[in-house]
Amino acid sequence: MESTKLPSAPVQEIFAALQEQEHEQVMFVQDKALGLKGIIAIHNTTLGPAMGGLRMWNYASEAEALTDVLRLSRGMTLKNALAGINIGGGKAVIMGDARVQKSEALLRRMGKFVHNLGGKYYTAEDVGMSEQDMMYIRSETPYVTGLPREMGGSGDPSPVTAYGVYVGMKAAWKYRTGTDSLEGVRVMVQGVGSVGSHLVDYLAQENASIFMYDVYEASLKEVAGRTGATVVDADEVYSLPVDIYAPCALGATLNPDTIPSLTCSVIAGAANNQLLDEERDGQALKDRDILYAPDFMVNCGGIINVSLELGTYSREMAMKMTERVYQTTLEICTLAKDENITTHAAAWRAANNRIQQIGRNRLFL
């Protein structure tokens, strides 16, 4: 077989990206016969084995897939560190359309690649994956979490994620107003899927005044019937006069188009990567005196939940550990104020500090 000579520039660019973001290891995997093209990125294992979901997405290019997996794995390092768990950051992606290209064989092949890492990376469910898919991967490796409860796994993480968002929201509201009661507080929930619908339940129990929007009408109908929450139109999501905005659908909803319209004084939601540009949009919120509870700080319940599969799983323990989000939120808001930095920057600083301190501790007996 003739060897393919690679142009040096792309390889150099990849190494430059790994160095800049400080990734430990990246594995490119493929199986032409099965149509598998994937990347596993291990960002940091100082605190423990890397953990993060496996995403299957129809990326426009290989470069887009690489950018995504590098960014997401780094995010997992920070989320896990701030959550106070002994888990590092990693993520995996498969390039392709999950609706038509996913198969048992392809997933099991991916499972073998995960297995080859010998437990340095544990995978889990993410966009494009189901519990059944995780079970296919489990056929090839024990280094997979997010399995159904019947199989000794931790089951659906969404209720735990919603609980973390809820207590984070209460803490941010307390920091802002002096009370953590959400009774009568107007909350706009964007997206009432797995996490958003559970969040609405918590808010309804507290008699908050709930507004919600989802592109999927059936979910709105179901949640409204159960909780009495008010359904609003798409164009009201960012401008309706509310006290709290909870993004629970997509990322990047905090951007120059939306931030000027917001009327809320607190933002706390489950969606990943809510700030389109972390520095610019985090600063814009600070300038508008809107208290932003960083997404990776409040949406850690799901990863806490699956991380417990590494020992003996208990839902009670997952909820108890997730309750720490309340205290963490208060601390991060205080740090941001004291240092005159954005809450996003404060949360990153606290996460990095924990990694450095625990990493240093490992040098000693």
Give the active site residues. 91
Q: How far is the CB of 295 from ligand NAD (least distance, A)?
A: 8
Instruction: Give the C-alpha distances (Å, rounded to integers) separating 30 from 4, 101, 133, 137, 169.
Output: 16, 14, 18, 16, 42
239 binds ligand NAD (CB under 6 A): no
Nearest to 176 by CA among 264, 279, 296: 264
The three-point CA angle 148-154-160 to 5° equals 120
Q: Is 151 or 215 the residue whose CB approaches ligand NAD more closely? A: 215
229 binds ligand NAD (CB under 6 A): no
Alpha-carbon Rg for the chain, nearest whole angstrom, is: 21
Phi, psi of 126 (to 5 degrees): -145, -165
Please list the residues that pair with 230 across neighbouring strands. 211
**Which residues within the stretch 189-208 sit at the binding site for ligand NAD (CB under 6 A)?**
190-196
72 binds ligand NAD (CB under 6 A): no
Site string for ligand NAD, 345-364 (x = CB under 6 A): --------------------
On whether the CB atoms of residues 12 and 19 are closer than 8 A, the answer is no
Q: How far is the CB of 299 from ligand NAD (least distance, A)?
A: 4
Question: Which tokens sit at 281?
Answer: 């949009």
Q: Site for ligand NAD (CB under 6 A): which residue of 110, 200, 262, 270?
A: 270
Q: How far is the CB of 35 from ligand NAD (least distance, A)?
A: 25
Q: How many CA atoms lie within 13 A of 26 on its CB side?
A: 24
214 binds ligand NAD (CB under 6 A): yes
Q: Is 113 or 343 the residue whose CB approaches ligand NAD more closely? A: 343
Q: How far is the CB of 146 from ligand NAD (least distance, A)?
A: 9
Which of 145-153, 256-264, 270-278, 286-294 is the region at the interface with ligand NAD (rule: CB under 6 A)?
Answer: 270-278
**Which residues within the stretch 271-330 sit at the binding site for ligand NAD (CB under 6 A)?**
271-272, 299, 302
Q: Site for ligand NAD (CB under 6 A): which residue of 46, 158, 329, 342?
A: 158
Q: How far is the CB of 343 from ligand NAD (least distance, A)?
A: 18
Q: Where are the beta strands (DSSP E) in the chain?
A: 25-31, 36-44, 50-51, 54-57, 88-95, 121-122, 186-190, 209-213, 230-231, 244-247, 266-267, 291-292
Nearest to 191 by CA among 224, 220, 227: 220
161 binds ligand NAD (CB under 6 A): yes
On whether the CB atoms of residues 296 and 332 are closer than 8 A, the answer is no
Which of 64-72, 103-111, 113-121, 157-165 is the region at the interface with ligand NAD (rule: CB under 6 A)?
Answer: 157-165
Q: How far is the CB of 116 from ligand NAD (least distance, A)?
A: 27
Q: State which amino acid sits at residue 75.
A: G
The three-point CA angle 67-255-56 to 5° equals 35
Phi, psi of 133 (to 5 degrees): -65, -40
213 binds ligand NAD (CB under 6 A): yes
Q: How far is the CB of 14 from ligand NAD (least distance, A)?
A: 26
Axis crossing angle, helix 217-227 with helix 194-205, rounded to the nearest 10? 20
Q: Is 30 or 219 the residue whose CB approaches ligand NAD more closely? A: 219
53 binds ligand NAD (CB under 6 A): no
Q: Is 196 or 294 the residue whose CB approaches ligand NAD more closely? A: 196
Please list the residues that pair with 144 across neighbouring strands. 123
Q: Is 31 or 278 the residue whose CB approaches ligand NAD more closely? A: 278
211 binds ligand NAD (CB under 6 A): no
Give the position of tokens 């301190």: 357
Which of 211-219, 221-229, 314-322, 346-354 is the region at the interface with ligand NAD (rule: CB under 6 A)?
Answer: 211-219
Q: Is 36 or 129 the residue whose CB approaches ligand NAD more closely? A: 129
The three-point CA angle 167-306-65 to 5° equals 100
User: Site residues (CB under 6 A) for ligand NAD?
Assistant: 157-158, 161, 190-196, 213-216, 219, 248-251, 270-272, 299, 302
